[in-house]
Homo-oligomer: A and B are copies of this chain.
């Protein structure tokens, strides 16, 4: 659960566009949203905002620590955003259905710190993305192979 976010507390004045983008993000916590997703959500469910404003507001939110930006797709380099909950986590991305599963593994987390320290490097951030095929798509694959055999 993500605590209700108050823009003023994050040092941002409350403007209509910012509230709209925040609402869009809060309404879609289940998925990672691209700027375009936010744009289309607002167009359909709310009041249209120009793309440039969507980008700007998302950048402001990122700076303020309200959202986190990721770039999952190994090929296409579209960026997506998610509301930042207190817990850091890594991502597992299904290359078939593009679904994203979040996880956190303490063992990996602590090992990363060890590696980095051994090299005199100071860690500010990291991203671990696992790409593969999720259980759901795997099942579907098996089914369609069945179908072909018949």
Contact = CB atoms under 8 A, between A and B. Distances in A.
A49 interface: no
Nearest to A138: B122
Interface in A95-120: 95, 101, 103, 105, 107-108, 111-112, 115-116, 119-120
A64 B112 CA distance: 32
Closest 5 CB pairs of A and B: A120-B135, A77-B77, A123-B132, A125-B131, A126-B130
Interface residues of A, number: 36
Contacts of A92: 115-116, 119, 121
Contacts of A107: 107, 111
A115 B132 CA distance: 12
Interface of A: 69, 71, 74-75, 77, 79, 92, 94-95, 101, 103, 105, 107-108, 111-112, 115-116, 119-135, 138
Nearest to A113: B130
A92 B120 CA distance: 12
Contacts of A122: 132-133, 138
Contacts of A115: 92, 103, 105, 108, 130
A133 B125 CA distance: 10
